[in-house]
């Protein structure tokens, strides 16, 4: 795998479990035109994902899901129960929009009246290959709430409906601390007036 600006010398997989770690030896061209020495890096290969922010423009409310996250403990975060938008991994044969709609149903019991593409981004390009497609869904939240999750995946999810102002305040207080949720709420703060008018 060589291109004009990089050369992959070798790749092996030192770990394969729920996720995978690939080890690469490579070189890349520097901005000055010469080449780096041969470098070695491990890349976390998790797959790609889609997330969706449910928003009810009539009620001016959003929905987040709360669930246990082992990574929050390992990272030393204040809480291992995280507030997130519904999200999931893209399975073979699915496209990101299908996943957003599936997760909206599985994790929140909702159907989107409209799905709005927001961003496609890499959460951690320094060490992970994951790409995330992020959407907003216009929904009816008048009866949303309770518990959800896919039993076969042992999901244990609590659904919370919040006023947008409260959700933004939770970001400021550090109670919402994951990138997908923060990005989608910030997008909504910038686009709320237009969505409510439409």
153 is catalytic: yes
Which of 59, 57, 157, 58 is closest to 104 using CA atoms? 157
DSSP E strand stretches across 17-145: 20-28, 39-45, 49-56, 61-68, 81-84, 87-89, 114-121, 132-138
CB atoms within 10 A of CB 52: 33
Which 8-state DSSP code applies to residue 125? T
Candidate list 153, 166, 172, 175, residue with the active-site label: 153
Q: Which two tokens stand for residue 195?
A: 């969505």
Q: Is 121 helix (H, G, I), strand (E, B) or coil?
A: strand
Catalytic positions: 153
């Amino acid at each position: 795998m060589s291109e004009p600006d990089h050369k992959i010398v070798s790749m092996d997989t030192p770990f394969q479990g729920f996720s995978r770690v690939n080890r690469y030896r490579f070189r890349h061209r520097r901005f000055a035109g010469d080449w780096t020495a041969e470098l070695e890096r491990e890349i976390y290969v998790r797959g790609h994902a889609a997330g969706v922010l449910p928003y009810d423009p009539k009620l001016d409310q959003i929905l987040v899901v709360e669930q246990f996250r082992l990574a929050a403990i390992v990272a030393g975060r204040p809480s291992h129960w995280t507030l997130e938008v519904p999200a999931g991994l893209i399975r073979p044969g699915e496209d990101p929009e299908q996943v957003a709609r599936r997760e909206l149903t599985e994790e929140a019991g909702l159907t989107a009246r409209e799905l709005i593409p927001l961003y496609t981004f890499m959460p951690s390009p320094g060490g992970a290959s994951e790409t995330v497609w992020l959407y907003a869904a216009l929904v009816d939240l008048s009866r949303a709430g309770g518990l959800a999750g896919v039993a076969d995946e042992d999901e244990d999810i609590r659904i919370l409906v919040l006023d947008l102002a409260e959700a933004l305040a939770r970001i400021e207080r550090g109670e919402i601390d994951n990138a997908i949720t923060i990005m989608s709420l910030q997008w909504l703060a910038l686009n709320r007036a237009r969505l409510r008018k439409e």
